[in-house]
Chain A
Protein backbone atom coordinates (compact mmCIF):
# COMPACT_ATOMS: atom_id res chain seq x y z
CA UNK A 1 0.00 0.00 0.00
CA UNK A 2 1.34 3.41 -0.95
CA UNK A 3 2.20 5.62 1.96
CA UNK A 4 -0.27 8.37 2.62
CA UNK A 5 0.89 11.91 2.17
CA UNK A 6 1.23 13.83 5.38
CA UNK A 7 0.01 17.20 6.54
CA UNK A 8 2.12 18.04 9.55
CA UNK A 9 1.30 20.36 12.38
CA UNK A 10 4.09 21.52 14.65
CA UNK A 11 3.08 20.86 18.24
CA UNK A 12 3.65 24.19 19.94
CA UNK A 13 2.48 23.62 23.47
CA UNK A 14 4.48 25.96 25.71
CA UNK A 15 1.47 27.82 27.00
CA UNK A 16 -2.23 28.09 26.54
CA UNK A 17 -2.27 30.24 23.43
CA UNK A 18 0.34 28.20 21.69
CA UNK A 19 -1.49 25.03 22.41
CA UNK A 20 -4.72 26.55 21.13
CA UNK A 21 -3.14 27.48 17.81
CA UNK A 22 -1.87 23.93 17.45
CA UNK A 23 -5.36 22.57 18.03
CA UNK A 24 -6.76 25.07 15.55
CA UNK A 25 -4.25 23.91 12.95
CA UNK A 26 -5.06 20.27 13.54
CA UNK A 27 -8.69 21.09 12.85
CA UNK A 28 -7.93 22.84 9.57
CA UNK A 29 -5.41 20.15 8.64
CA UNK A 30 -8.20 17.56 8.87
CA UNK A 31 -10.30 19.52 6.39
CA UNK A 32 -7.37 19.98 4.02
CA UNK A 33 -6.37 16.32 4.37
CA UNK A 34 -9.83 15.22 3.28
CA UNK A 35 -9.34 17.06 0.01
CA UNK A 36 -6.05 15.44 -0.92
CA UNK A 37 -6.43 12.14 0.92
CA UNK A 38 -3.63 12.79 3.37
CA UNK A 39 -3.08 11.95 7.00
CA UNK A 40 -2.75 14.52 9.76
CA UNK A 41 0.39 14.28 11.86
CA UNK A 42 1.44 16.30 14.86
CA UNK A 43 5.16 16.72 15.52
CA UNK A 44 6.16 17.06 19.16
CA UNK A 45 9.62 17.80 20.54
CA UNK A 46 10.02 18.12 24.26
CA UNK A 47 10.31 16.33 27.55
CA UNK A 48 7.64 14.57 29.60
CA UNK A 49 5.29 15.19 26.72
CA UNK A 50 3.79 11.74 26.52
CA UNK A 51 3.42 11.24 30.20
CA UNK A 52 -0.30 10.85 29.92
CA UNK A 53 -0.55 9.34 26.51
CA UNK A 54 -2.22 6.09 27.46
CA UNK A 55 -4.54 7.76 29.87
CA UNK A 56 -5.39 10.41 27.38
CA UNK A 57 -6.39 7.79 24.88
CA UNK A 58 -8.74 6.36 27.46
CA UNK A 59 -10.71 9.47 28.25
CA UNK A 60 -8.22 11.33 30.33
CA UNK A 61 -8.99 15.00 29.95
CA UNK A 62 -5.70 15.97 31.48
CA UNK A 63 -3.92 18.82 29.79
CA UNK A 64 -0.37 17.64 30.38
CA UNK A 65 -0.44 14.85 27.89
CA UNK A 66 0.11 16.80 24.71
CA UNK A 67 0.38 13.67 22.62
CA UNK A 68 -3.00 12.40 23.75
CA UNK A 69 -4.40 15.86 23.46
CA UNK A 70 -3.35 16.18 19.83
CA UNK A 71 -4.83 12.83 18.94
CA UNK A 72 -8.05 13.77 20.68
CA UNK A 73 -8.13 16.95 18.62
CA UNK A 74 -7.60 15.35 15.25
CA UNK A 75 -4.07 13.98 14.73
CA UNK A 76 -3.89 10.54 13.10
CA UNK A 77 -0.26 10.20 14.02
CA UNK A 78 2.13 11.91 16.39
CA UNK A 79 5.89 11.99 15.76
CA UNK A 80 7.48 12.37 19.12
CA UNK A 81 11.02 13.08 20.21
CA UNK A 82 11.11 13.16 23.96
CA UNK A 83 14.40 13.81 25.67
CA UNK A 84 15.73 15.78 28.67
CA UNK A 85 17.71 17.93 26.25
CA UNK A 86 14.44 19.18 24.83
CA UNK A 87 13.01 20.35 28.11
CA UNK A 88 13.31 23.98 27.05
CA UNK A 89 12.48 25.23 23.58
CA UNK A 90 15.67 25.59 21.63
CA UNK A 91 15.68 27.07 18.17
CA UNK A 92 18.64 25.37 16.49
CA UNK A 93 17.98 21.98 18.00
CA UNK A 94 14.31 22.03 17.06
CA UNK A 95 15.18 23.17 13.53
CA UNK A 96 17.63 20.30 13.10
CA UNK A 97 15.11 17.77 14.40
CA UNK A 98 12.40 19.04 12.09
CA UNK A 99 14.75 19.15 9.12
CA UNK A 100 15.87 15.55 9.60
CA UNK A 101 12.39 14.21 10.21
CA UNK A 102 10.99 16.03 7.19
CA UNK A 103 13.82 14.79 4.97
CA UNK A 104 13.05 11.24 6.05
CA UNK A 105 9.26 11.32 5.96
CA UNK A 106 8.71 13.87 3.19
CA UNK A 107 5.51 15.53 4.29
CA UNK A 108 3.39 17.37 1.77
CA UNK A 109 2.82 20.36 4.05
CA UNK A 110 3.97 21.68 7.41
CA UNK A 111 1.73 24.08 9.31
CA UNK A 112 3.22 26.07 12.16
CA UNK A 113 1.50 28.49 14.51
CA UNK A 114 2.54 32.10 14.04
CA UNK A 115 3.73 32.48 17.60
CA UNK A 116 7.03 34.26 18.21
CA UNK A 117 8.72 30.87 18.36
CA UNK A 118 6.94 29.59 15.26
CA UNK A 119 7.82 32.65 13.24
CA UNK A 120 11.50 32.24 13.98
CA UNK A 121 11.47 28.46 13.71
CA UNK A 122 9.60 28.12 10.42
CA UNK A 123 11.97 30.24 8.29
CA UNK A 124 14.92 28.20 9.54
CA UNK A 125 13.21 24.93 8.74
CA UNK A 126 12.16 26.19 5.30
CA UNK A 127 15.68 27.34 4.53
CA UNK A 128 17.17 24.02 5.60
CA UNK A 129 14.70 22.16 3.43
CA UNK A 130 15.21 24.55 0.52
CA UNK A 131 11.52 25.23 0.22
CA UNK A 132 9.13 28.17 0.38
CA UNK A 133 7.31 29.61 3.34
CA UNK A 134 4.44 32.01 3.77
CA UNK A 135 4.23 34.05 6.95
CA UNK A 136 1.31 34.66 9.23
CA UNK A 137 -1.45 33.26 7.03
CA UNK A 138 -5.06 34.16 7.72
CA UNK A 139 -6.47 31.48 5.45
CA UNK A 140 -5.46 28.15 3.93
CA UNK A 141 -7.10 26.16 1.19
CA UNK A 142 -6.44 23.54 -1.44
CA UNK A 143 -6.67 24.53 -5.10
CA UNK A 144 -7.88 22.22 -7.90
CA UNK A 145 -4.31 21.01 -8.47
CA UNK A 146 -4.09 19.96 -4.86
CA UNK A 147 -1.70 22.75 -3.89
CA UNK A 148 -1.87 24.66 -0.65
CA UNK A 149 -3.22 28.18 -1.18
CA UNK A 150 -1.70 30.37 1.52
CA UNK A 151 -3.46 33.65 2.22
CA UNK A 152 -1.16 36.17 3.79
CA UNK A 153 -1.85 39.76 4.76
CA UNK A 154 0.52 42.55 3.82
CA UNK A 155 0.58 46.30 4.41
CA UNK A 156 -0.96 45.94 7.83
CA UNK A 157 -3.77 43.82 6.53
CA UNK A 158 -4.80 46.17 3.78
CA UNK A 159 -3.99 43.64 1.12
CA UNK A 160 -4.13 39.90 1.03
CA UNK A 161 -1.84 37.88 -1.19
CA UNK A 162 -2.59 34.34 -2.24
CA UNK A 163 0.65 32.44 -2.36
CA UNK A 164 1.59 29.01 -3.68
CA UNK A 165 4.66 26.87 -3.37
CA UNK A 166 4.23 25.12 -6.71
CA UNK A 167 7.29 22.90 -6.93
CA UNK A 168 9.26 22.60 -3.74
CA UNK A 169 8.17 20.35 -0.90
CA UNK A 170 7.03 20.55 1.76
CA UNK A 171 4.75 23.54 1.44
CA UNK A 172 5.19 25.46 4.69
CA UNK A 173 3.08 28.17 6.27
CA UNK A 174 2.86 29.90 9.61
CA UNK A 175 -0.71 30.66 10.60
CA UNK A 176 -2.04 33.44 12.76
CA UNK A 177 -3.68 32.24 15.98
CA UNK A 178 -7.45 32.41 15.89
CA UNK A 179 -7.74 31.88 12.15
CA UNK A 180 -9.38 28.50 12.54
CA UNK A 181 -11.61 26.91 15.14
CA UNK A 182 -10.41 23.87 17.00
CA UNK A 183 -12.59 20.79 16.97
CA UNK A 184 -13.81 19.59 20.37
CA UNK A 185 -11.72 16.83 21.88
CA UNK A 186 -12.68 13.22 21.43
CA UNK A 187 -10.83 11.03 23.89
CA UNK A 188 -12.08 7.89 22.22
CA UNK A 189 -10.20 8.72 19.03
CA UNK A 190 -7.08 6.68 18.58
CA UNK A 191 -3.89 7.49 16.81
CA UNK A 192 -0.42 6.23 16.25
CA UNK A 193 2.59 7.45 18.16
CA UNK A 194 5.90 7.24 16.30
CA UNK A 195 8.84 7.68 18.64
CA UNK A 196 11.80 9.36 17.01
CA UNK A 197 15.07 9.07 18.93
CA UNK A 198 17.27 12.10 19.46
CA UNK A 199 20.05 12.01 16.85
CA UNK A 200 23.37 10.96 18.36
CA UNK A 201 25.37 13.61 16.51
CA UNK A 202 23.26 16.53 17.69
CA UNK A 203 25.54 19.41 18.63
CA UNK A 204 24.85 21.95 21.35
CA UNK A 205 22.80 24.98 20.48
CA UNK A 206 25.00 27.99 19.78
CA UNK A 207 22.51 30.22 21.53
CA UNK A 208 22.25 29.72 25.29
CA UNK A 209 19.15 30.44 27.28
CA UNK A 210 20.44 32.18 30.38
CA UNK A 211 17.16 33.04 32.01
CA UNK A 212 13.52 32.63 31.16
CA UNK A 213 10.76 34.14 33.13
CA UNK A 214 7.12 33.44 32.47
CA UNK A 215 5.21 36.68 32.14
CA UNK A 216 1.68 36.91 33.44
CA UNK A 217 -0.70 35.41 30.89
CA UNK A 218 -1.82 38.20 28.65
CA UNK A 219 -5.55 38.41 28.45
CA UNK A 220 -6.73 38.64 24.90
CA UNK A 221 -10.32 39.53 25.44
CA UNK A 222 -10.72 41.85 22.50
CA UNK A 223 -8.58 39.83 20.12
CA UNK A 224 -10.46 36.63 20.82
CA UNK A 225 -13.98 38.01 21.15
CA UNK A 226 -16.68 36.53 18.92
CA UNK A 227 -18.60 39.78 19.04
CA UNK A 228 -16.98 43.22 19.06
CA UNK A 229 -18.85 46.47 19.45
CA UNK A 230 -16.62 49.26 18.21
CA UNK A 231 -17.30 52.93 18.62
CA UNK A 232 -15.86 56.08 17.11
CA UNK A 233 -16.04 59.82 17.42
CA UNK A 234 -19.50 59.79 15.78
CA UNK A 235 -21.07 58.61 19.01
CA UNK A 236 -20.69 62.16 20.20
CA UNK A 237 -19.89 61.92 23.90
CA UNK A 238 -18.36 59.82 26.61
CA UNK A 239 -21.82 59.19 28.05
CA UNK A 240 -23.21 57.90 24.78
CA UNK A 241 -20.11 55.83 24.22
CA UNK A 242 -20.62 54.18 27.60
CA UNK A 243 -23.83 52.63 26.25
CA UNK A 244 -21.71 50.37 24.08
CA UNK A 245 -20.67 48.45 27.17
CA UNK A 246 -24.25 47.60 27.91
CA UNK A 247 -24.76 46.43 24.34
CA UNK A 248 -21.56 44.43 24.40
CA UNK A 249 -22.58 42.77 27.61
CA UNK A 250 -25.93 41.69 26.18
CA UNK A 251 -24.14 40.28 23.16
CA UNK A 252 -21.45 38.60 25.21
CA UNK A 253 -18.86 40.69 23.40
CA UNK A 254 -16.16 43.26 23.98
CA UNK A 255 -15.92 46.98 23.35
CA UNK A 256 -13.38 48.42 20.92
CA UNK A 257 -12.63 52.02 20.01
CA UNK A 258 -10.90 54.28 17.51
CA UNK A 259 -8.00 56.53 18.26
CA UNK A 260 -9.88 59.82 18.79
CA UNK A 261 -12.05 58.00 21.32
CA UNK A 262 -9.18 56.72 23.41
CA UNK A 263 -7.44 60.07 23.12
CA UNK A 264 -10.60 61.78 24.42
CA UNK A 265 -10.50 59.32 27.29
CA UNK A 266 -13.97 57.90 26.62
CA UNK A 267 -12.43 54.48 27.22
CA UNK A 268 -9.13 52.93 28.18
CA UNK A 269 -6.31 52.73 25.67
CA UNK A 270 -6.55 48.93 25.83
CA UNK A 271 -9.68 49.12 23.72
CA UNK A 272 -7.92 50.71 20.74
CA UNK A 273 -8.47 48.77 17.54
CA UNK A 274 -6.11 49.45 14.68
CA UNK A 275 -2.60 49.69 13.46
CA UNK A 276 -1.53 51.17 16.78
CA UNK A 277 -3.79 48.91 18.81
CA UNK A 278 -5.37 45.50 18.62
CA UNK A 279 -6.21 43.27 15.76
CA UNK A 280 -9.70 41.78 15.98
CA UNK A 281 -11.45 38.96 14.15
CA UNK A 282 -14.95 38.56 15.52
CA UNK A 283 -17.85 36.67 13.95
CA UNK A 284 -19.75 39.94 14.12
CA UNK A 285 -18.44 43.46 14.31
CA UNK A 286 -20.76 46.33 15.17
CA UNK A 287 -19.22 49.65 14.18
CA UNK A 288 -20.82 52.84 15.51
CA UNK A 289 -19.87 56.28 14.23
CA UNK A 290 -16.56 55.25 12.70
CA UNK A 291 -15.31 56.79 9.49
CA UNK A 292 -13.20 53.80 8.49
CA UNK A 293 -9.69 55.18 8.22
CA UNK A 294 -7.26 52.61 6.95
CA UNK A 295 -5.29 52.56 10.22
CA UNK A 296 -8.44 51.35 11.93
CA UNK A 297 -9.95 49.04 9.31
CA UNK A 298 -6.72 47.20 8.64
CA UNK A 299 -7.19 45.59 12.04
CA UNK A 300 -10.81 44.66 11.38
CA UNK A 301 -10.40 42.74 8.14
CA UNK A 302 -10.74 39.47 9.95
CA UNK A 303 -14.32 40.24 10.98
CA UNK A 304 -16.71 37.80 9.34
CA UNK A 305 -19.80 40.01 9.33
CA UNK A 306 -19.82 43.77 9.74
CA UNK A 307 -22.76 45.98 10.69
CA UNK A 308 -21.80 49.67 10.46
CA UNK A 309 -23.85 52.59 11.63
CA UNK A 310 -22.97 56.03 10.33
CA UNK A 311 -24.82 59.23 9.43
CA UNK A 312 -22.80 59.43 6.30
CA UNK A 313 -23.64 56.68 3.78
CA UNK A 314 -20.37 57.34 1.96
CA UNK A 315 -18.06 56.79 4.91
CA UNK A 316 -15.35 54.25 4.08
CA UNK A 317 -16.52 52.03 6.93
CA UNK A 318 -19.94 51.74 5.29
CA UNK A 319 -18.41 50.47 2.06
CA UNK A 320 -16.74 47.65 3.94
CA UNK A 321 -19.82 46.65 5.87
CA UNK A 322 -22.17 43.79 5.11
CA UNK A 323 -24.96 45.91 6.49
CA UNK A 324 -24.63 49.68 6.25
CA UNK A 325 -27.06 51.44 8.54
CA UNK A 326 -27.52 55.13 7.74
CA UNK A 327 -28.68 56.59 11.04
CA UNK A 328 -27.62 58.18 14.29
CA UNK A 329 -25.21 55.83 16.02
CA UNK A 330 -26.30 56.49 19.53
CA UNK A 331 -30.01 56.08 18.76
CA UNK A 332 -29.45 52.79 17.00
CA UNK A 333 -27.36 51.57 19.92
CA UNK A 334 -30.11 52.41 22.43
CA UNK A 335 -32.80 50.79 20.30
CA UNK A 336 -30.69 47.68 19.81
CA UNK A 337 -30.27 47.34 23.55
CA UNK A 338 -34.03 47.56 24.09
CA UNK A 339 -34.76 45.03 21.39
CA UNK A 340 -32.14 42.59 22.61
CA UNK A 341 -33.53 42.72 26.11
CA UNK A 342 -36.92 41.74 24.69
CA UNK A 343 -35.49 38.88 22.70
CA UNK A 344 -33.02 37.38 25.09
CA UNK A 345 -34.99 35.44 27.64
Chain B
Protein backbone atom coordinates (compact mmCIF):
# COMPACT_ATOMS: atom_id res chain seq x y z
CA UNK B 1 0.00 0.00 0.00
CA UNK B 2 1.52 3.24 -1.13
CA UNK B 3 0.35 6.62 0.02
CA UNK B 4 0.89 8.79 -3.04
CA UNK B 5 0.41 12.51 -3.50
CA UNK B 6 0.34 14.19 -6.90
CA UNK B 7 0.63 17.98 -7.22
CA UNK B 8 -1.33 19.23 -10.19
CA UNK B 9 -1.52 22.65 -11.69
CA UNK B 10 -4.06 24.01 -14.08
CA UNK B 11 -2.47 26.05 -16.85
CA UNK B 12 -3.87 27.98 -19.81
CA UNK B 13 -3.89 26.11 -23.10
CA UNK B 14 -1.06 28.00 -24.71
CA UNK B 15 -1.24 26.64 -28.23
CA UNK B 16 -4.80 27.81 -28.46
CA UNK B 17 -4.28 30.95 -26.50
CA UNK B 18 -5.80 33.89 -28.26
CA UNK B 19 -3.32 36.67 -28.73
CA UNK B 20 -3.46 40.12 -30.02
CA UNK B 21 -1.11 40.35 -33.01
CA UNK B 22 -0.99 44.15 -32.66
CA UNK B 23 0.32 44.26 -29.14
CA UNK B 24 1.68 40.75 -29.19
CA UNK B 25 0.17 40.02 -25.80
CA UNK B 26 -1.61 36.87 -24.80
CA UNK B 27 -5.17 37.20 -23.69
CA UNK B 28 -4.76 35.03 -20.67
CA UNK B 29 -8.17 35.62 -19.23
CA UNK B 30 -9.83 34.15 -22.31
CA UNK B 31 -7.81 30.98 -22.20
CA UNK B 32 -9.22 27.61 -21.34
CA UNK B 33 -7.61 25.71 -18.53
CA UNK B 34 -5.95 22.33 -18.87
CA UNK B 35 -3.84 20.01 -16.76
CA UNK B 36 -0.17 20.97 -17.09
CA UNK B 37 1.49 18.33 -19.34
CA UNK B 38 4.27 17.38 -16.90
CA UNK B 39 1.67 17.00 -14.15
CA UNK B 40 -0.08 14.50 -16.39
CA UNK B 41 3.12 12.45 -16.35
CA UNK B 42 3.25 12.67 -12.58
CA UNK B 43 -0.34 11.43 -12.32
CA UNK B 44 0.34 8.64 -14.81
CA UNK B 45 3.40 7.54 -12.84
CA UNK B 46 1.31 7.44 -9.65
CA UNK B 47 -1.40 5.37 -11.32
CA UNK B 48 1.19 2.87 -12.53
CA UNK B 49 2.81 2.60 -9.13
CA UNK B 50 -0.56 1.94 -7.57
CA UNK B 51 -1.33 -0.75 -10.15
CA UNK B 52 1.73 -2.65 -9.01
CA UNK B 53 1.62 -2.05 -5.29
CA UNK B 54 -1.85 -0.93 -4.41
CA UNK B 55 -2.40 2.27 -2.53
CA UNK B 56 -4.15 5.58 -2.43
CA UNK B 57 -3.61 8.61 -4.64
CA UNK B 58 -4.39 12.09 -3.39
CA UNK B 59 -4.27 14.87 -5.97
CA UNK B 60 -3.75 18.37 -4.77
CA UNK B 61 -3.84 21.75 -6.44
CA UNK B 62 -3.56 25.35 -5.40
CA UNK B 63 -5.40 27.81 -7.57
CA UNK B 64 -8.65 29.66 -8.23
CA UNK B 65 -11.91 27.74 -7.59
CA UNK B 66 -11.95 26.77 -11.27
CA UNK B 67 -8.79 24.68 -10.70
CA UNK B 68 -11.11 22.07 -9.22
CA UNK B 69 -11.55 20.91 -12.85
CA UNK B 70 -8.11 19.31 -12.92
CA UNK B 71 -8.85 17.45 -9.69
CA UNK B 72 -12.04 16.04 -11.20
CA UNK B 73 -10.19 15.07 -14.34
CA UNK B 74 -7.56 13.30 -12.25
CA UNK B 75 -10.22 11.49 -10.26
CA UNK B 76 -11.88 10.42 -13.52
CA UNK B 77 -8.49 9.04 -14.56
CA UNK B 78 -8.26 7.05 -11.34
CA UNK B 79 -7.05 9.22 -8.46
CA UNK B 80 -8.82 8.54 -5.17
CA UNK B 81 -9.40 11.98 -3.76
CA UNK B 82 -8.73 15.63 -4.36
CA UNK B 83 -7.62 18.57 -2.25
CA UNK B 84 -8.28 22.07 -3.55
CA UNK B 85 -6.35 24.90 -1.97
CA UNK B 86 -8.11 28.05 -2.81
CA UNK B 87 -7.98 31.41 -1.11
CA UNK B 88 -7.58 35.00 -2.25
CA UNK B 89 -4.64 35.24 0.12
CA UNK B 90 -2.82 32.51 -1.82
CA UNK B 91 -2.94 34.41 -5.10
CA UNK B 92 0.23 35.80 -6.62
CA UNK B 93 2.47 33.27 -4.92
CA UNK B 94 6.03 32.80 -6.10
CA UNK B 95 7.60 29.34 -5.91
CA UNK B 96 8.69 29.72 -2.29
CA UNK B 97 5.18 30.63 -1.15
CA UNK B 98 3.65 27.93 -3.37
CA UNK B 99 5.89 25.21 -2.00
CA UNK B 100 5.29 26.36 1.57
CA UNK B 101 1.52 26.18 1.06
CA UNK B 102 1.62 22.81 -0.70
CA UNK B 103 3.90 21.34 1.96
CA UNK B 104 1.62 22.35 4.82
CA UNK B 105 -1.40 21.02 2.94
CA UNK B 106 0.32 17.69 2.28
CA UNK B 107 1.34 17.35 5.91
CA UNK B 108 -2.20 18.09 7.02
CA UNK B 109 -4.16 16.00 4.53
CA UNK B 110 -1.70 13.16 3.88
CA UNK B 111 0.34 12.57 7.01
CA UNK B 112 2.69 9.66 6.58
CA UNK B 113 2.82 9.95 2.78
CA UNK B 114 5.27 7.73 0.92
CA UNK B 115 5.91 9.63 -2.28
CA UNK B 116 5.05 13.06 -3.64
CA UNK B 117 4.99 13.36 -7.42
CA UNK B 118 5.18 16.68 -9.24
CA UNK B 119 5.63 17.73 -12.81
CA UNK B 120 9.11 18.96 -13.67
CA UNK B 121 7.84 22.30 -14.85
CA UNK B 122 4.68 24.11 -15.81
CA UNK B 123 3.94 25.44 -19.25
CA UNK B 124 2.93 28.87 -17.99
CA UNK B 125 5.49 29.88 -15.38
CA UNK B 126 8.16 27.36 -16.41
CA UNK B 127 10.17 27.73 -13.24
CA UNK B 128 10.68 24.03 -12.44
CA UNK B 129 11.31 25.26 -8.91
CA UNK B 130 8.25 24.15 -6.99
CA UNK B 131 9.26 20.47 -6.86
CA UNK B 132 12.77 20.94 -5.42
CA UNK B 133 11.52 23.60 -2.99
CA UNK B 134 8.69 21.36 -1.88
CA UNK B 135 11.24 18.63 -1.10
CA UNK B 136 13.09 21.16 1.06
CA UNK B 137 9.89 22.18 2.84
CA UNK B 138 8.89 18.58 3.51
CA UNK B 139 12.48 17.70 4.41
CA UNK B 140 12.51 14.56 2.30
CA UNK B 141 15.00 13.49 -0.37
CA UNK B 142 14.00 14.62 -3.83
CA UNK B 143 15.04 14.19 -7.42
CA UNK B 144 14.00 16.37 -10.35
CA UNK B 145 13.65 15.66 -14.08
CA UNK B 146 12.93 11.97 -13.62
CA UNK B 147 12.03 10.07 -16.79
CA UNK B 148 11.24 6.68 -15.23
CA UNK B 149 10.93 5.26 -11.76
CA UNK B 150 10.19 2.05 -9.92
CA UNK B 151 9.79 1.17 -6.28
CA UNK B 152 11.10 -1.99 -4.66
CA UNK B 153 10.43 -2.29 -0.96
CA UNK B 154 11.11 1.18 0.39
CA UNK B 155 13.66 2.05 -2.28
CA UNK B 156 12.83 4.26 -5.25
CA UNK B 157 15.05 3.82 -8.27
CA UNK B 158 14.98 6.61 -10.84
CA UNK B 159 16.48 7.26 -14.22
CA UNK B 160 16.94 10.65 -15.77
CA UNK B 161 18.91 12.58 -18.34
CA UNK B 162 20.50 15.68 -16.99
CA UNK B 163 23.24 17.79 -18.52
CA UNK B 164 24.52 15.13 -20.88
CA UNK B 165 24.52 12.45 -18.24
CA UNK B 166 22.29 9.45 -18.08
CA UNK B 167 21.87 8.87 -14.36
CA UNK B 168 20.41 6.15 -12.19
CA UNK B 169 19.62 7.34 -8.68
CA UNK B 170 18.15 5.79 -5.56
CA UNK B 171 16.54 7.05 -2.40
CA UNK B 172 14.47 5.66 0.43
CA UNK B 173 10.82 6.58 0.97
CA UNK B 174 9.39 8.99 1.89
CA UNK B 175 10.59 11.17 -0.95
CA UNK B 176 9.65 13.44 -3.81
CA UNK B 177 10.18 13.20 -7.55
CA UNK B 178 9.42 15.54 -10.41
CA UNK B 179 8.53 13.87 -13.69
CA UNK B 180 9.26 14.99 -17.22
CA UNK B 181 6.78 14.47 -20.03
CA UNK B 182 9.25 11.97 -21.45
CA UNK B 183 8.13 8.45 -20.82
CA UNK B 184 4.54 8.44 -19.69
CA UNK B 185 1.74 7.95 -22.14
CA UNK B 186 -1.32 10.16 -22.06
CA UNK B 187 -4.45 8.51 -20.73
CA UNK B 188 -7.96 9.12 -21.88
CA UNK B 189 -10.74 9.79 -19.47
CA UNK B 190 -13.30 6.95 -19.57
CA UNK B 191 -16.76 8.43 -20.07
CA UNK B 192 -18.30 6.67 -17.11
CA UNK B 193 -15.46 7.82 -14.94
CA UNK B 194 -16.04 11.39 -15.93
CA UNK B 195 -19.66 11.29 -14.82
CA UNK B 196 -18.72 9.74 -11.56
CA UNK B 197 -15.97 12.26 -10.99
CA UNK B 198 -18.41 15.07 -11.42
CA UNK B 199 -21.15 13.52 -9.37
CA UNK B 200 -19.62 12.01 -6.28
CA UNK B 201 -15.97 12.95 -6.25
CA UNK B 202 -14.20 13.10 -2.95
CA UNK B 203 -12.85 16.65 -3.01
CA UNK B 204 -12.14 18.89 -0.07
CA UNK B 205 -11.56 22.59 -0.41
CA UNK B 206 -9.30 24.32 2.08
CA UNK B 207 -8.30 27.92 2.60
CA UNK B 208 -5.38 29.36 4.53
CA UNK B 209 -7.32 29.44 7.80
CA UNK B 210 -8.42 25.81 7.45
CA UNK B 211 -4.82 24.84 6.81
CA UNK B 212 -3.78 26.80 9.85
CA UNK B 213 -0.84 28.31 8.03
CA UNK B 214 0.99 31.57 8.44
CA UNK B 215 -0.85 34.07 6.22
CA UNK B 216 2.34 36.11 5.98
CA UNK B 217 4.00 33.27 4.11
CA UNK B 218 1.43 32.59 1.40
CA UNK B 219 0.48 34.33 -1.82
CA UNK B 220 1.96 37.60 -2.95
CA UNK B 221 2.67 38.62 0.65
CA UNK B 222 4.79 35.55 1.27
CA UNK B 223 6.76 35.97 -1.93
CA UNK B 224 10.30 37.29 -1.94
CA UNK B 225 10.17 38.11 -5.63
CA UNK B 226 8.06 40.86 -7.09
CA UNK B 227 7.03 41.15 -10.69
CA UNK B 228 7.92 44.62 -11.88
CA UNK B 229 6.27 44.39 -15.25
CA UNK B 230 5.40 41.95 -17.99
CA UNK B 231 5.80 42.71 -21.65
CA UNK B 232 5.89 41.09 -25.02
CA UNK B 233 9.43 41.04 -26.35
CA UNK B 234 8.25 41.76 -29.85
CA UNK B 235 5.46 44.24 -29.34
CA UNK B 236 5.95 47.69 -30.70
CA UNK B 237 9.10 46.93 -32.64
CA UNK B 238 9.73 49.85 -34.98
CA UNK B 239 10.69 48.31 -38.26
CA UNK B 240 11.99 49.39 -41.62
CA UNK B 241 9.88 48.19 -44.53
CA UNK B 242 11.59 47.51 -47.85
CA UNK B 243 9.68 46.89 -51.05
CA UNK B 244 10.68 46.77 -54.66
CA UNK B 245 12.82 44.69 -56.96
CA UNK B 246 14.95 42.05 -55.19
CA UNK B 247 18.12 43.63 -56.52
CA UNK B 248 17.27 47.03 -55.10
CA UNK B 249 16.20 45.50 -51.80
CA UNK B 250 19.44 43.62 -51.38
CA UNK B 251 21.42 46.78 -52.19
CA UNK B 252 19.44 48.57 -49.49
CA UNK B 253 20.12 45.80 -47.01
CA UNK B 254 23.84 46.14 -47.45
CA UNK B 255 23.84 49.91 -47.57
CA UNK B 256 21.83 50.35 -44.44
CA UNK B 257 22.67 47.30 -42.40
CA UNK B 258 26.12 46.34 -43.59
CA UNK B 259 27.53 46.84 -40.10
CA UNK B 260 24.90 44.56 -38.52
CA UNK B 261 25.32 41.80 -41.08
CA UNK B 262 29.10 42.14 -41.29
CA UNK B 263 29.34 42.29 -37.51
CA UNK B 264 27.40 39.08 -37.03
CA UNK B 265 29.38 37.13 -39.58
CA UNK B 266 32.68 38.73 -38.66
CA UNK B 267 33.47 39.92 -42.16
CA UNK B 268 33.91 43.27 -43.79
CA UNK B 269 31.20 43.59 -46.41
CA UNK B 270 31.95 47.13 -47.55
CA UNK B 271 32.48 47.62 -51.22
CA UNK B 272 35.18 50.23 -50.82
CA UNK B 273 36.55 51.97 -53.82
CA UNK B 274 33.52 51.14 -55.89
State the CA gap A335–B246 with chains docked (Å). Answer: 7
A301 CB, nearest partner CB in chain B, Å = 5
B224 in contact with A123 (CB, 8 Å):
no
Option from A135, A150, A336 in Cβ contact (under 8 Å) with B253? A336
Smallest CB gap from B135: residue in A: A124
Within B1-46, the residues touching A (CB, 8 Å) are 14-15, 17, 19, 21, 24-26
B243 in contact with A322 (CB, 8 Å):
no
B269 in contact with A307 (CB, 8 Å):
no
- Give every chain A residue within 8 A of B249 (Cβ-Cβ): 325, 327, 332, 335
Interface SS, B side: mixed
B133 in contact with A159 (CB, 8 Å):
no
Q: Which of B53-61, B66-74, B204-212, B256-264 contacts A (4 or more CB under 8 A)?
A: B256-264
- Sorting the interface of chain B by its residue count into under 10, 10 to 19, 20 to 34 or 35 or more gives 35 or more
Smallest CB gap from A113: residue in B: B163
Option from A127, A252, A305 in Cβ contact (under 8 Å) with B260? A305
Smallest CB gap from A115: residue in B: B163
Smallest CB gap from A313: residue in B: B241
Within B96-147, the residues touching A (CB, 8 Å) are 96, 99, 123-130, 132-133, 135-137, 140-145
- Give every chain B residue within 8 A of A331 (Cβ-Cβ): 246
- Give every chain A residue within 8 A of B246 (Cβ-Cβ): 327-328, 331-332, 334-335
State the CA gap A159–B123 with chains docked (Å). Answer: 12
**With A307-B253, A327-B246, A335-B247 in contact, is A135–B266 under 8 Å at CB?**
no
B168 in contact with A211 (CB, 8 Å):
yes
A163 in contact with B226 (CB, 8 Å):
yes
A217 in contact with B254 (CB, 8 Å):
no
B125 CB, nearest partner CB in chain A, Å = 6
- Give every chain B residue within 8 A of A122 (Cβ-Cβ): 129
Is B162 interfacial (CB-CB < 8 Å)?
A: yes
Question: A residues within 8 Å of B by Cβ?
Answer: 14-15, 17-18, 91-92, 115-117, 119-120, 122-124, 126-128, 130-136, 149-150, 153-168, 206-215, 217-218, 226-227, 251-253, 275, 282-284, 294-295, 297, 301, 305, 307, 313, 316, 318-328, 331-332, 334-336, 339-340, 342-344
Extra contacts, 11 of them, besides A126-B96, A128-B136 (Cβ < 8 A), are: A115-B163, A123-B129, A132-B223, A132-B225, A133-B224, A154-B230, A158-B19, A161-B229, A283-B264, A327-B243, A335-B249
Question: B residues within 8 Å of A by Cβ?
Answer: 14-15, 17, 19, 21, 24-26, 94-96, 99, 123-130, 132-133, 135-137, 140-145, 157, 161-172, 175, 223-234, 237, 239-244, 246-247, 249-251, 253-254, 257, 260-261, 263-267, 269-271
